[in-house]
Structure 1
């Protein structure tokens, strides 16, 4: 394994600073949405997260148009359930991707192709207390599972899923061999799946 050069370390530091600033901006936007139903803040979050959620869903095997529709649903849920967001419990990215994961599970269950009359039409009912608690618990569980990962694996998962970088782009940013990146991400995903049950 090659030692990192000062230039690589400085690049990593700048990248970590940029990610921390982005995360802080997302929290600020999320609180504006939660507390003031701020449409501009929502537009910023939508522009950032909708394509990443779509990519996450497609990587999970969801077909393109369905992934697009689900991503839109996820972002509508972010708007409607913003009052449930607590920055002390999860990052915005963890919260959004928990909603996306639940949406993917719902779609997989629904894929038994119900008849049109079985589909829900009109506005979605407000979340029950039970649903709200379950979402909060899953968000906390995913956040804890991410924190429990070794730092090297967690960094790559965050870059791949929350930063929407390809394995090749991660290799260029970190200087790590492509095989190492793929192996660490595979190990991290296995640990997350195990932790999430």
Structure 2
């Protein structure tokens, strides 16, 4: 009985040291085979680990009459590589579909009719004008809340103000903006 077959027999009996020896002997070559197809360190490492995890589970099923240990290991590796390639293809399809969906959404939002675009631009200018009319301390917290999406607590932390001061400045600033818009209408 060859040394590799002896190792498989020991692995089938639960000998971890035998698995370690088999790993030391064949892991680099399995990695190299995986590299030719996957070209990714992470994916190749996963294939090697998957192969030896499978060897640990099914070592007792190895049949000497059906071929060499090397052929068996390479068959296991090939199977894991193909599984990985299929997974990558599925992932690639999902990413491609998501990008296509994003482009559809983008093109849908770009195709706003000209009248709406003019109204949006006018409203944007009104907001900027109204913001310029309120005190800078109130404008700053409003911009942090609405343009940057910060919470009251995050604004307080970023500015060094107390939470109560942030809320007061927001309330006063929004009140002045509301009055400014009502006067325009």
* TM value normalised by structure 2: 0.46
Structure ID, larger Rg: 2
Greater relative contact order, per chain length (Cα 8 Å cut-off, separation 6+): 1
Q: Which has the higher helix share?
A: 2
Name the TM-score, length of structure 1 as normaliser. Answer: 0.44
